Chain A
Amino acid sequence: MTSVRAAVQLLVFPGLGYAVAAGFLMEWMQRKINARLQGRLGPPFYQPFFDVVKLLGKRPVERPPLQGLMMTALPAGAVVATLGAVALLPVVPSGGGFAGDLVLLVGLIELGPLLLVLGGFASRSLWGGLGASREAIMTAAYNLPFLTALIALAHSSGLSLNGAALEGSWPVRVLALLAILICLPAKLHLNPFSIAGAEQEIYAGATTEYDGPRLAMWELAHSLEWVALVGLVAALSLPVTGLGWPVRVLVFLGLSLLVVVLLSATAAATARLKLAQTARWFWLWALVPAASALVLAYAGI
């Protein structure tokens, strides 16, 4: 029974089936909300799916063998890692099987940006390199508050992702969630932190040289990143006990979509900041709630 459950978690919910569908949906929601706020109509809901399908049907540019291999393997790795992260989201308390823990979840989430940096440099393009170095600096900037918040959570409730163990103190959870939420626009390349893919400055950044199925995989990985990160916030905000699994799933979905709306509206209402400004912002202001959460967690409040 536990292995069936683990398989369902990996392949159906919150894994493969849900993740891909929700990824496209969230991508569409972001584009649609953005468009409506700008007085445009926006794309139909199937557009992100069609975009990926169109890219999959294209024949990529010939590359030297090793470069071609890297440019295929790196986005594929990003898709698999992010998919793994989604499957680990603690939506329904695990009754057994492979549950993983917070360290694995964070590792899988962080693998995506790391592979994007490598992918940018592997494409051997000036713009790819600039985008990759920006992505690397951004990672260093937002990961300080992001990881501090997660350490606070882990100290408060343990490393296990099993629902019952997430029963940390509420102040710590709220502050940590706030810090994670602030980091999300940067992790999802949204305004005001859309620096790594600033098209007016460096074309598409790390993915400039990618085309066809290789680009489709980056697009897919990006959609999955939406599900993983928005899902992380939603899963951590769920009340730990007292809800049956259908209610938990519904609340999880509702919270996820709410976060998408919030992020999209923020992105539409802001200009893009600069790299140095972003680093300063994350190391000063976003660190405040994260550090407070950490202090509270260690004080045992």
Chain B
Amino acid sequence: MSPVVPIGPFHPALEEPYKVEVTCEGERITDASVVVGFNFRGIEWLAERKSYTQDIALLERVCGICSNVHTLMFSRAVEKIAGLEVPDRAQYIRVVIAEAERLHSHLLWAGVACNLIGFETLFMTCFSLREQVMDILERISGNRVNYAMNRPGGVNRDISDPGAVLAAVRTIEKTTSGKLIPIMTGDPTVRARCAGVGVLSRDDALAHGAVGPLARASGLTQDIRRSAPYEAYDKLDFDVPVRDEGDVLARIVVRASEILQSCRLIEQAVETMPAGPIGGPLYPSVPAGEASVRVEAPRGEVFYYLASDGTDVPVRVRVRTPTFVNMPTVPLMAVGESISDLPLIQASIDPCYSCNDR
């Protein structure tokens, strides 16, 4: 008899409620499926009943990690419909916050991945680094999780102490390149657990429309920051790391390289930031119209659709998070692997099912 092993909805390997059900023969997985919907909060429904200003606070709570991306998306959609111009300085500040958030998200993911392969010491190292990123975010915005930085036409707060931000980012960059990356990519036990595990071929990634670091670790060069630059990204210099192996180790390497790229972006943005105003109107009037926007969140492309009928309440708010498209690749990667690898494989897409459920 092949037992069906339910990983979740509550399981030490999962950060949030969802379920990966696998059929096993001994330790080998023969079938897998992902069950979601445990964290449905009706955010889209609520957003269509609140004003634009209230929606910003609501949508910030779609995700507990990439909260900034959602307010950025919503603000950009409103700006598109209302034809609002964002001041240059605000665009740079948006880049700084978005990249600090990417640092925070990738370090959190790295910690979780280490925890899943039983490497507690490295998990603690990642989380102490992440704490420093959260300190930067707190220094800028006054908040550690929901930064409340974006509003249509600009940002809410200026970066008043750029020196401290630069110093903190340089420390993070040094520890990441000197300590974290060598261990995560070179330690024999980490390699034994990650190399050749959970392979997603380039063709499969393309066929499933995979996005973000998952796609980039399978040889797809796609990054919205590069292909459709927004805010100040076209004025800044950065690389898009891509690997061809498609295994868990490649995903680790891609994310680790992105940590360094984010540090680079923050440094450039803080150093080259022009002076000037930062904010738009507090209560913008939004004419009738519709807009769709996309940006590169830490986990990949996020898509928003916003429709307005000219009142102060949107008619339709549609949120599609990267996990929605990355999720179907999990069974593909898990079948044929051992059950010991399952927590790591399902985590390697950096899932956020709570955002996905909305």
Point out residues on A near B: beta carbons under 8 Å: 34, 37-40, 126, 130, 191-192, 194-195, 198-201, 203, 268-277
Contact = CB atoms under 8 A, between A and B. Distances in A.
B121 A273 contact: no
Main SS of chain B's interface residues? Answer: helix
A273 B191 CA distance: 10
Nearest to A137: B27
B118 A191 contact: yes
A194 B118 CA distance: 8
Contact of A34 (B120, B341, B343): B120
B5 A272 contact: no
Contacts of A270: 119, 187, 189
Contact of A38 (B117, B118, B124, B192): B124
B114 A199 contact: no
Nearest to A268: B121
The 9 closest A-B pairs by CB, nearest first: A272-B118, A271-B119, A271-B189, A38-B124, A200-B13, A271-B117, A270-B189, A274-B340, A268-B121
Specify which of A130, A203, A272 lies most central, judged by the most chain B CB atoms within 10 Å of its CB.
A272
B78 interface: no
Nearest to A37: B121
Nearest to B337: A274
Contacts of A195: 340
A273 B192 contact: yes
6 contacts: A38-B120, A39-B128, A130-B339, A191-B118, A199-B12, A203-B12
Contact of A275 (B12, B128, B338): B338
Contacts of B338: 274-276
Contacts of B115: 200
B13 A274 contact: no
B118 A200 contact: yes
B342 interface: yes
Interface of B: 3, 5, 11-13, 27, 114-122, 124-125, 128, 187, 189-190, 192-193, 338-343
Contacts of B189: 191-192, 270-273
Contacts of B122: 271
Contacts, number: 73
Contacts of B120: 34, 38, 268
A192 B5 CA distance: 24
B340 A275 contact: yes
Nearest to A274: B340
B190 A271 contact: yes
Main secondary structure, interface of A, reads: loop
B306 to A, nearest CB: 39
Contacts of A130: 5, 339
Nearest to B115: A200
Contacts of B124: 38-40
Contacts of A274: 192-193, 338, 340-341
Q: Which of B116, B125, B190 has the most chain A CB within a 10 Å cutoff?
A: B116
Given A199-B12, A201-B342, A272 B27 contact: no
A169 B231 CA distance: 75
Nearest to A270: B189
B3 A126 contact: yes
A7 B11 CA distance: 47
Contact of A201 (B119, B125, B192, B343): B343
B13 A201 contact: yes
B255 to A, nearest CB: 17
Nearest to A134: B27
A192 B340 CA distance: 13
Contacts of A194: 118
Contacts of A271: 114, 117-119, 122, 187, 189-190, 192-193
Contacts of A191: 118-119, 189
Q: Tell me which of A40, A270, A271, A277 has the highest count of chain B C-beta atoms within 10 A of its own C-beta.
A: A271
B131 to A, nearest CB: 11
Given A271-B117, A275-B338, 4 more contacts: A200-B116, A203-B11, A271-B193, A272-B117
A275 B12 CA distance: 19
A280 to B, nearest CB: 10
A185 to B, nearest CB: 12
